[in-house]
């Protein structure tokens, strides 16, 4: 098969896990469209991609709005060419117990975490189908596998992503498009760094490996799934959680 020019769209690429995924993919020779609702002033992700001798472009988008996704994809492909790798990483939390959870807290999480992934997939999959090659990786969560008190909205959105992954893997397999998911456990990010020490200790107690995961742990799993080494893997959820859920 003729070598495919690889271009990845990574949502939530401005920071954290998304940034690390973008840099990991760039390190393997992939050009990167960095997508986020906003970017830090230092543009560290874009600088990192360029430092790895790859082309990169920042595109602002709201994944919950189909028109915004279409516009961002058009801007990205104008600079880099057709997107054939999609990493659905964008997500939010709005934690609350169900008795206190507002409709807005429920709907905003579902709209971004689940509907957002649908919007992005719908936008890129037509070109992937025509090219008969594509990679889609959805970033779900251990919470979508085992649930968590106070996160009914988040767990539902992430469990929905797993169902979406498995359904599309079957639907798109004949077009040489793989669809997989990565389910992080507790990861050492800016969000977890600000947690009180006692809360961090409780988190660690739940992890058999007795450490938080790193953004690089997640990026390495994504890098594998988009590689040719994983060309016969589809519909799978890779759990990167230190053994807390098997």
Confidence band for 202, pLDDT divided at 50, 70 and 90: confident
Confidence band for 78, pLDDT divided at 50, 70 and 90: very high
Nearest to 154 by CA among 97, 221, 237, 239: 97
Confidence band for 2, pLDDT divided at 50, 70 and 90: low
B/e letters for 108-142, b = 16+ CB within 10 Å, e = fewer, are bbbbbbbbbbbbbbebbbebbeeeebbbbbbbbbb
pLDDT, position 196? 82
Lowest-confidence range among 59-68, 177-186, 200-209? Answer: 200-209
Percentages of the chain per state (helix, strand, coil), in multiples of 5: 50, 15, 35
Domain boundaries, the chain: 7-240
- Tens-digit pLDDT profile for residues 142-170: 999 999 999 999 999 999 999 999 999 99
Mean pLDDT of 92-115: 97
Nearest to 133 by CA among 178, 72, 196: 178
| Residue carrying the six token digits 């600079």 | 79
Lowest-confidence range among 91-100, 170-179, 187-196, 211-220? Answer: 187-196
Mean pLDDT of 18-32: 98
Residue 58 and residue 227: Cα distance in Å, rounded? 23
Fold of 7-240: Rossmann fold (3.40.50)
Mean pLDDT taken over the chain: 95
Confidence band for 3, pLDDT divided at 50, 70 and 90: confident
Q: Which residues contact 228 (CB under 8 A, 6 or more apart)?
A: none
232 counts as catalytic: no
Lowest-confidence range among 169-178, 185-194, 234-243? Answer: 185-194
Residue 83 and residue 138: Cα distance in Å, rounded? 16
Residue 188 CA neighbour count, 13 Å, CB half: 11
Residue 60: Cβ-neighbour burial (10 angstroms; 0-12, 13-18, 19+):
middle
First-to-final CA distance of the chain: 37
pTM: 0.96
φ, ψ of residue 231 in degrees (nearest 5): -65, -15
Confidence band for 197, pLDDT divided at 50, 70 and 90: confident
Q: Which of 39, 118, 133, 154 is catalytic?
A: 154
- If one counts every other C-beta atom within 10 angstroms of the C-beta of residue 45, the result is 26
């Amino acid at each position: 098969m003729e070598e495919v020019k690889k271009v990845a769209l990574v949502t939530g690429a401005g920071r954290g896990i998304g940034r690390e995924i973008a840099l990991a993919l760039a390190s393997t020779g992939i050009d990167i469209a960095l997508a986020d609702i906003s970017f830090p002033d230092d543009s560290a992700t874009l600088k990192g991609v360029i430092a790895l001798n790859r082309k990169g472009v920042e595109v602002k988008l709201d994944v919950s709005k189909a028109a915004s996704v279409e516009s961002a994809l058009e801007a990205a492909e104008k600079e880099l060419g057709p997107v054939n790798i999609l990493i659905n990483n964008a997500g939010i939390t709005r934690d609350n117990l169900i008795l206190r959870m507002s409709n807005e807290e429920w709907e905003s999480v579902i709209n971004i975490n689940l509907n957002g992934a649908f919007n992005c997939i719908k936008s890129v999959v037509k070109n992937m189908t025509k090219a008969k090659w594509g990679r889609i990786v959805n970033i779900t969560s251990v919470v979508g596998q085992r649930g968590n008190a106070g996160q009914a909205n988040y767990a539902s959105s992430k469990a929905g992503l797993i169902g979406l992954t498995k359904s599309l893997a079957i639907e798109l397999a004949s077009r040489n498009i793989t669809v997989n998911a990565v389910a992080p456990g507790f990861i050492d990010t800016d969000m977890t760094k600000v947690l009180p020490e006692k809360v961090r200790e409780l988190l660690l107690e739940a992890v058999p490996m007795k450490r938080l995961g790193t953004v690089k742990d997640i990026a390495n799993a994504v890098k594998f799934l988009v590689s040719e080494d994983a060309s016969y893997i589809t519909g799978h959820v890779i759990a990167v959680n230190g053994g807390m859920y098997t």
